[in-house]
Structure 1
């Protein structure tokens, strides 16, 4: 049996441009810590082979601290490492892959498919590198594993979602035709839906080990792959191991009929019972609520003290049922705004909702200054 740690899409030195400078620096530090955690696991769990399926870096140049961290962590491993550079960190002869790496590290540097033989394991790893930000054809097309007496692994940064992708389009048929025992993929950060079996080959996207925004929600980690059996009897077993320091969660909480912030906060607390300090949360409130109810972000954040990072979005609509027969200024004000509240233009609709709530609050005698 051989045991493999399959990772990729770490995107070290990501800018986290939507955050403050301090928060962005903290997230970059956490990315480095997550990478170190994976390598520590590889050492402690007696992993035989580490595969990095591209985009270890967010761009081809990295800080000196990050480059040194990568080399230190990889050199500390007692096993070989094979890297297939991706579209974010291409092997273009100018970046990190042009420097000297520890002897146990093997890096693909050409766009054409090549083979790295690891004789101590009886393994052949096939792969290629992006040499720029785009690769419009599949280096796997028409190729096949040569030595069936060995465990054959295909390692690549590739896109199975589109045949016209500029990120090395790859089809299930090409995976099957190639004939590897395991195809270790990178590029799709939420890759579980694109993992499966093609002929006799198990293929999987490792996904990112640490989410970086609300498009990468949930617990993230790496794949642990175990390959057993001899020729014609290979058994590939995969499991996903969490490694993330933080996890993004994007939830929608309906608050239909709410008339107070107490009700809104209660609904938020109920929805977040299982979340903790490792969660970066975006919570969107929906439903028809009292027209004077203004959802206050700070109040919601205070109601969920176990989650330190909360972004609140108000997508509720004000109820106008009372205004139909209301003969007062209040009713007339609501009726005048009603067409704008139903506008197809989201910006116009949002402005109308704000105007309605401010107007009703003012009519109720509240100070808006």
Structure 2
């Protein structure tokens, strides 16, 4: 019974430029480690071949060292690897693939299927029909040639392509143009069509799947961080597809509205339960009294040291000092006069409709900043 591991969108060499270097490097390294895990899974499940549906590299300009490290990461599985080019690493006349070949970096058991012609794997009686991209954007269906090509009788027919299945994925969900007919598997008499480009796992129909990227790289709940184990009993039999986890890091997006202590308690309880391998984007809104605001900041400081990455968007979360907060500052003299004036101005009603903040809003923000600064100063002096 032939068995295959379907994966795609490794994007080796990607640099997470929006992250601090301290976080970006481990995220980049995790993509290479994912290839090593794929090799281990291929061995564990004794697959006949690993099918890689494009975007192996993130760019044509990755370094020689990155090219060599990527192919070295595949050494753990000595069976066939079949790779096609995607939109990030299109098979141009001069490309990352031609550089890899010049470097002698491509192992003998790795097949670069960079031309639209059948690749025959005799050991498992399987014909691979590849649809490599030769440019970043195409407007014709690169899988159209599958329909007419003949393959040995009694052999499996597997398609390998990178692009967007038409009418299934919204334009905002795909990485680039490169259309694929939704009924290509049926029209081309394929036993299975392995797709790449969509970074999440997705079943198009029984014989057509996106595997998703093996290491998440976006804050989307789309079944990324996996590879697909595909088993096909015989030509014409419906494939059995099983998702296998490959991710090192979990990417998570959370939002919370904070106004009272119980809101904060609930959020902190949820955050404390997150595993250390989480990459978290947190959005906060609402208003908090000074003591709750300080408690939140202290908890976030601890969390930044524990999680793989934490980004916080809190522009919609304001500090609303209570009378007790202000009294506890024991401000006197000029500071007391400033605080009193800001409180008086801030107590005024909302400004008329305007794009610019009104005097009352500015006064409330100034009072919040002054209160937080004075409270911090008092803590430092008492430490």
Scaled by the length of structure 1, the TM-score of the pair is 0.80
Count of residue pairs brought into register by the alignment: 346
- The 5 Å alignment of 1:92-107 reads 92-98=92-98, 99=101, 100=104, 101-107=106-112
Contact 1:253–1:267 at 8 Å: present in 2 too?
no
Contact 1:185–1:203 at 8 Å: present in 2 too?
yes
> Could you give the per-residue CA deviations for residues 254-300 of structure 1, whole angstroms, max 9, x where no partner exists?
33x32x5xx55422222235421100111222446559975776423
Indicate the residue corresponding to 1:266 in structure 2: 265
Contact 1:80–1:106 at 8 Å: present in 2 too?
yes
Does the alignment pair 1:282 with 2:281?
A: yes
> Could you give the per-residue CA deviations for residues 51-78 of structure 1, whole angstroms, max 9, x where no partner exists?
0111111012322332222333445533
- Comparing 27-36 with 282-291, greater Cα deviation is found at 282-291
Indicate the residue corresponding to 2:134 in structure 1: 131
> Could you give the per-residue CA deviations for residues 89-130 of structure 1, whole angstroms, max 9, x where no partner exists?
1111323322142222222223xx321111211111111211
In the TM superposition, residue 24 of structure 1 has moved relative to its aligned partner by: 2.2
Indicate the residue corresponding to 1:196 in structure 2: 204
- The 5 Å alignment of 1:1-369 reads 1-98=1-98, 99=101, 100=104, 101-110=106-115, 113-141=116-144, 143-144=146-147, 146-147=150-151, 149-160=154-165, 161=169, 167-192=177-202, 195-197=203-205, 202-215=207-220, 220-228=225-233, 230-232=234-236, 234-255=237-258, 257-258=259-260, 263=262, 265-287=264-286, 294=293, 298-302=297-301, 304=303, 306-314=306-314, 315-316=316-317, 330=343, 333-337=346-350, 339=352, 356-359=364-367, 362=370, 366=374
| Structure 1 SS opposite 2:71 | helix
In the TM superposition, residue 171 of structure 1 has moved relative to its aligned partner by: 2.7
- Comparing 177-186 with 264-273, greater Cα deviation is found at 264-273
Q: By percentage of residues, which structure has more helix?
A: 2
Contact 1:330–1:360 at 8 Å: present in 2 too?
no
In the TM superposition, residue 175 of structure 1 has moved relative to its aligned partner by: 3.4
Greater Cα radius of gyration, structure 1 or 2: 2
- For structure 2, the residue ranges without an aligned partner over 5 or more in a row are 324-340, 378-383
In the TM superposition, residue 312 of structure 1 has moved relative to its aligned partner by: 1.9
> Could you give the per-residue CA deviations for residues 232-264 of structure 1, whole angstroms, max 9, x where no partner exists?
4x1311111111121111012233x32x5xx55
Mapped to 2, the partners of 1:53 and 1:351 lie a distance apart of 58
Contact 2:230–2:242 at 8 Å: present in 1 too?
yes
Mapped to 2, the partners of 1:208 and 1:58 lie a distance apart of 12
- For structure 1, the residue ranges without an aligned partner over 5 or more in a row are 323-327
Contact 1:285–1:316 at 8 Å: present in 2 too?
yes
